[in-house]
Chains A and B, each alone.
Chain A
Amino acid sequence: MSGVAEISQVEDSVRELLVDVLGVDAEQAAEMESDTPLFGALPELDSMAVAGLLTEMEDRLEIMIDDEDVDGELFETFGSLVEFTAGKLEEGA
């Protein structure tokens, strides 16, 4: 998973998740860039929301996430979440 088109697809799925799961405003999600902070910056994102987001990611993207991966750091920025998701999709491919 290195093509530009593929990464932008992953970005779109992650944006969709943030909107659907957290109720983030669609415009706000569209403006997110890889260094946009998430955890600690989005009031919607508490520990329960992190758990919900991961579980919904598994269901929608058909990936498996180990509990060891579950970490606030993963949600530090929009970019870190996209990178994690792309990695998981690649593992499953």
Chain B
Amino acid sequence: MRHLTYSWADRDEQLLTCGPDGAEQRILFVPPLFDEMNRVRRTLVEAMRILGDTGISSTLPDLPGCNESQAKLEDQSLEDWRDAITAAAKAIDATQTFSVRGGALIDDGPALPTIRLSPAKGKSLLNMLVRTRIVGDKEAGVTTTAEALRTEAENGSVELAGHNISALMWNGLETAEIPDGSDAALLKPADVDGSALWLRAEPQHDPAMAAGLAEMLAKGSAAS
């Protein structure tokens, strides 16, 4: 396991990488967005370790504004993230991408063979963020509407479920469809002995899912 970096918008962003130097197969993981990333990170990293043991290199990048990144989340848009993923793919000379959930919305820049696990529509992700805020406010006795939150975003940024979302990000999510990838392979959690870890309130680890994912990705990369 080692930390490489890619450069984007004058900053170095982290690339968590596992597997031998000079591996023939180099998979770029495109992480889920917002909270969903935290919930599956451990299982993804475990899958990377297993892949590394079989001689396949894999890399999990930080999106600008997320995880260790020094950039501000409220300065990011989906377009920025798509560009960042393209830069990350270039930095490791990736041979394929593997995207999870909202990662599928931004995985098409590098135009590589791709495998997608349960791709999520931008609108669903946005609804989830907005509702988390509305439900949380309601518990605190405050009534909030989606329109009011949107106006707040347009005036700078709005905090949704702990994430500062700009109007640009809001609008991007609202209209984002999964990019056309007719040759993208689609996976469901059941295909890899797993479950929808990204929806769990408490992050869980699923060793069987990590093994299933690694096996599926190794097969995918062998076929490409």
Q: A-side interface residues toward B, CB under 8 Å?
A: 20-23, 43-56, 58-59, 67, 70-72
Q: Which B residues are CB-close (under 8 A) to A51?
A: 127-132, 134-135, 161
A72-B200 in contact given A55-B127, A59-B124 (Cβ < 8 Å): no
> Is the pair B135, A47 in contact by a Cβ cutoff of 8 Å?
yes
Q: B-side interface residues toward A, CB under 8 Å?
A: 35, 124, 127-132, 134-136, 138-139, 145-146, 161, 195-196, 199-202, 204
> Is the pair A52, B199 in contact by a Cβ cutoff of 8 Å?
yes
Q: Which A residues are CB-close (under 8 A) to B128?
A: 48, 51-52, 55
A22-B200 in contact given A55-B124, A71-B138 (Cβ < 8 Å): yes
Residue in A22, A23, A46, A54 whose beta carbon sits within 8 Å of that of B131 in the complex: A54
> Is the pair A72, B199 in contact by a Cβ cutoff of 8 Å?
no
Chain B interface helix/strand/loop/mixed? helix
A19 shortest CB reach to chain B, Å? 8
> Is the pair B139, A47 in contact by a Cβ cutoff of 8 Å?
yes
Q: What residue in chain A is nearest B146 (Cβ atoms)?
A: A67
Q: Which A residues are CB-close (under 8 A) to B35?
A: 48
Q: What residue in chain B is nearest A68 (Cβ atoms)?
A: B145
> Is the pair B138, A70 in contact by a Cβ cutoff of 8 Å?
yes
Q: Which B residues are CB-close (under 8 A) to A71?
A: 135, 138
Q: Which A residues are CB-close (under 8 A) to B139?
A: 47, 72
Q: Which B residues are CB-close (under 8 A) to A48?
A: 35, 128, 132, 135-136, 161, 201
